[in-house]
Chain A
Amino acid sequence: MRGLRLRGVFALMIAAILAVTIAACGGGGSSTTSSTSASGNSDNLIVSNPTNGKVAITVGSKNFTEEYILGEIYAQGLEAAGYNVKKKLNLGSEQIALKAIQDGQISGYPEYTSTALGSLFSVPADQIPANAQEAYAQAKTKLAKEGVEAFPPTPFADSNAVGTLTSTAEKDNLTDISDLKGISQNMTLAGSPECRERIDCLVGLEKNYGLTFKKFIPVDIGLRYTVLDKGDADLSILFTSDAQLANSKKYTILKDDKELIPSGNVIFLASKKVADEAGPDFRDTIEKVQGNLTLPVIQELNSEVDIDKKEPAAVAHNYLVQSGYIK
């Protein structure tokens, strides 16, 4: 009897915890409709080239939503071009991914310009250009010395950004980060713990923009929207391609008008040797499939995976079909 009661209590506790967790997780999203912007265009269609079938390509990615989607987009595009494509979409850090290219375990993977320069080459954040093309040129030169070819950047940039509730932005008339001057001393800023010492985060906001904040609140990046929703912080460090920003007017990103935050466009990195041997279709396909990846599109794709819980492969396939790259 006692054993039975105990089990009942446990079942209740677990049910309660689950219910609470699900309720907490479900709060974020609102959008379910798909709205990839570009319309199908037959000129975009990737043509399969039978000679590519002899070339084996392994597409890698790091292990989070946006990377999974990008890895799938490149892999499925190359497959459509006739390549013999395998996938390794679970590499840990950029150091591991770069090593995997150099060891020949993968042919290439998508990386962010800011991460490539900052993490792979230890370029201080204040010396990484906020301009996408300048950052790309710098990364391309450095990577070429490692035997790695960097492809041109995607239209979208996944950068850190200062965000706030749209209601706050409207109340205080905020569009640029500079607009915070004069009111930021009454505002709290939430960011990852290391934001406090980062030149492209709190330190830069204080030194380059001349802002002071009432308080800096360190939080896990998983709570970056929760702190705004709960009113625990007035400002929060967000990522520009976040799923939560798709089709939503709830949050506002303040424009980095002093170009403090490094460019976070994606560049596909591939082994120079593999890229040369794979023939012209390889380069053409990679540049083509990323052509429609604007910020609203990647936000939508991220939200389809993170919020609607669809598979990255299916989301990537839809994107390629709707853009007219594959049928």
Chain B
Amino acid sequence: MILLASIIDSFTGAFDFILHSRQAVGSGHADVPVGGIPFIWTFARTQLEVSAIALGGALAVGMPIGLILGHIGKGEYFAVGFGNAGRAVPEIAVVFLLAALIGIGLGNVALALGILGLPPILTNTFVAIRQVDPTAVQAAEGMGMRPWQVILRVELPLAAPTIMTGIRTAAINIFATATIASFVGLSTLGDLVTGTNVYGTDGVVAGAIVIAVLAGSIEAALAGVQRLVTPRGLKLQRAARSA
């Protein structure tokens, strides 16, 4: 009961931090306002921006490679092995390694986050294309479609749900990891989470809540996109199978 009460307490404080401006902890007689929606939005916006750039980059690089390798049916070792190896690398290590090597700032953080987003996109795209029903591809070829038409009009739509799963994984990974960009030159929501000396426990919990809500929103939005891009035929097929 005491635990529950203290949890409710810290949430109340956190929501107050999100909604209202207050003085920073330890600011003494000085006026150092922190908290409130506009204050938090500046951090959230930076985190969303760098995440969007990184995801865009990972898509631009990972999808074409996955589509082409999947279509010609080669490079499984590369596409799957790279994906698995990529997942095993600690994300914080990549971010700090790149910071030490090439410096800090938006471009470099976006590059590091993009590298983290690449494996799930590449691997899922490759696997999704390989799993497309070969009879559908043969039918398309028999109708005289050119290779790029087969990729774009048959394989890509049929592979869309699995590709979207990879994109969702990448997006959540990138956004969550962008929190630590606070340590390599960008003011993201990680500032709040690590700033207990100036924002207090309320600010720390507030940061965590905002990150969780935004990550959940990204996930929900992409799940919606996934439903939109899934061809009607696939949905019918699945409904029939589960019925």
What residues of chain A have their CB less than 8 Å away from a CB belonging to chain B?
2, 6, 10, 13, 17, 20-21, 24, 118, 122, 124-127, 190, 193-194, 196-199, 203-204, 207, 216-220, 222-223, 226-227, 230-232
Contact = CB atoms under 8 A, between A and B. Distances in A.
The 10 closest A-B pairs by CB, nearest first: A124-B28, A220-B183, A197-B198, A126-B28, A24-B100, A193-B191, A197-B24, A194-B195, A230-B103, A194-B198
Contacts of B99: 223, 226
A243 B101 CA distance: 21
B194 interface: yes
Contacts of A2: 77
A198 B97 contact: no
A199 B85 contact: no
19 contacts: A6-B81, A127-B28, A194-B191, A194-B194, A194-B198, A194-B199, A197-B199, A199-B26, A199-B32, A203-B32, A218-B185, A218-B186, A219-B104, A219-B184, A220-B184, A222-B96, A227-B104, A232-B103, A232-B105
A193 B103 CA distance: 17
B32 A17 contact: no
B3 interface: no
A204 B198 CA distance: 14
A24, A204, A223: residue with the most chain B Cβ atoms closer than 10 Å? A223
Contact of B26 (A21, A198, A218, A230): A198
Interface residues of B, number: 32
A222 B186 CA distance: 15
Nearest to B99: A223
A198 B24 CA distance: 8
A21 B195 contact: no
A232 to B, nearest CB: 5
B80 to A, nearest CB: 11
Contacts of B194: 193-194
B187 interface: yes
A21 B26 CA distance: 37
A127 B28 CA distance: 7
A200 to B, nearest CB: 9
Interface in B21-41: 24, 26-30, 32, 34
A317 B99 CA distance: 37
Given A124-B28, A218-B183, A223-B99, A232 B104 contact: yes
The binding surface of chain A is classed by DSSP as: helix
A220 B24 CA distance: 20
Contact of A124 (B27, B101, B182): B27
Interface in B162-195: 182-187, 190-191, 194-195
Nearest to A204: B30
Contacts of A216: 187
Given A122-B26, A197-B198, A219 B81 contact: no
Interface string B76-110: 01000100010000000000110111011100000
Given A21-B97, A197-B195, A207-B30, 6 more contacts: A24-B101, A193-B194, A197-B34, A198-B26, A218-B187, A232-B103
A190 B32 CA distance: 19
B217 interface: no
Contacts of A217: 104-105, 185
B197 interface: yes
Interface in B192-239: 194-195, 197-199
A323 to B, nearest CB: 35
Between A17, A122, A127, A230, the greatest number of chain B beta carbons within 10 A of the residue's beta carbon is seen for A230
A24 B198 CA distance: 31
B18 to A, nearest CB: 16
A194 B195 CA distance: 5
B77 A203 contact: no
A218 B191 contact: yes
Contacts of A204: 30
Contacts of B29: 124, 126
Q: Which of A24, A196, A199, A218 has the most CB of B within 10 A?
A: A218
A124 B25 CA distance: 8
